Amino acid sequence: MRYEGGNKMNATRLAVLAALTLAPLAAGAQSVSYRCIAKDGKRYYGWVIPAECTGRPVEQLNSQGLVVKRIDPEHAEKQRQLKEATDERKRQEEAIAKDSARRNQALLATYTSEKDIDDARARALAENAKAVRDVETRLEGIRTRHAGYQKDVEPYKAKGVEAPAKLREDMKSAEDDLKAQEQLLEVKKNEAVKINARFDDDKKRYAAISKETATAKQPATTKPR
């Protein structure tokens, strides 16, 4: 009987010692708390972040009730958006830089001098001028054809009767052709402006690249002492 009683006493002592050992750890686990002012204007506390604090700035407190950390979801979201915008702008700038480098390489591969650019401009403008003349020639023929249909329609108009269906169809077709060719002529004339602008840009970039290349090839000079 004494032996069993001794075992019970030892077990009780071990349980007490274990409780005393774990007590500081439990207290330490509860040493951090959170608080916030919710949307309703009230202040909420909790050993974990209260549900009312969702999306609100939260203060983390130590065991003395002092603020040790501030958690601001709105600020974090703004920072995330700012980082995304910065990364996107960087990607765009890199894409522009790559495209510029590609265009510069293509320019150097196409021309060996500014005179080459001027010659290419002249050829492009000559081709455009020929296209304009071709459209004007077609327009002249369509206008002549349209005028002939109008002349054929006049007798019917004088009699107050409708012209034959075939004549009306031919006249409508001529009017449609006139409109289409007039629009094409306008496009071709505007192309001359675009051609000059394109070659002006090519010539400007070629001069800049040539200057950079010449500068890079110059030997470094040392200042006299």
Shared-domain flag, residues 47 and 142: no
18 is a domain residue: no
Q: Tell me how many domains the chain contains.
A: 2
**Residue 184 and residue 131: Cα distance in Å, rounded?**
10
151 and 186 in a single domain? The answer is yes
Residue 160 and residue 76 share a domain: no
pLDDT of residue 21 exceeding 60: no
pLDDT the model gives residue 221: 59
Residue 109 lies in a domain: yes
Mean pLDDT (whole number) for 21-34: 55
- Do 51 and 114 sit in the same domain of this protein? no
Is residue 136, in this structure, part of any structural domain at all?
Answer: yes
For residue 28, the model assigns a pLDDT of 44
Domain end residue (candidates: 88, 122, 137): 88
- Residue 205's closest CA among 105, 96, 123, 98? 105
Q: Indicate if 131 and 208 belong to the same structural domain.
A: yes
Residue 4 maps to a domain: no
Residue pair 148/175 in contact by the 8 Å Cβ criterion: no
The answer on 124 and 196 residing in a single domain is yes
Listed residues 39, 57, 88: the one ending a domain: 88
Domain identity same for 108 and 84: no
Q: Are residues 66 and 151 in the same domain?
A: no
Q: At what angle do helices 165-217 and 114-159 cross, to 10 degrees?
A: 170
- Please check the confidence at residue 224 and state whether its pLDDT lies above 50: yes
Kindly give, in sequence order, each residue whose CB lies less than 8 Å from that of residue 146, ignoring residues fewer than 6 positions away. 171, 174, 175, 178
| 126 and 66 assigned to the same domain | no
Q: Establish if 204 belongs to a structural domain.
A: yes
Non-local CB neighbours of 134 within 8 Å, separated by 6+ positions? none
| Phi and psi angles of residue 50, each rounded to the nearest 5 degrees, phi first | -60, 150
The reported pLDDT for the residue numbered 88 is 93
Residue 79 shares a structural domain with residue 108: no
Q: Please, which residues bridge with residue 45 across strands?
A: 35
Verify that 40 and 139 share a domain, yes or no: no
* Containing structural domain, residue 54: 30-88
Which of 27-36, 81-90, 125-134 is least confident?
27-36
Given this model, what pLDDT does residue 11 score? 46
In a domain, 98, yes or no: no
- Taking the CA atoms of residue 148, residue 153, residue 154 and residue 158 in that order, the dihedral angle to the nearest 10 degrees is 170
* CA pair distance 96, 108, nearest whole angstrom: 18
Cβ-in-10-Å burial (0-12, 13-18, 19+) of 36 comes to buried
Please tell me the predicted confidence (pLDDT) of residue 18: 41
Same domain, 121 and 209: yes
pLDDT of 213: 79
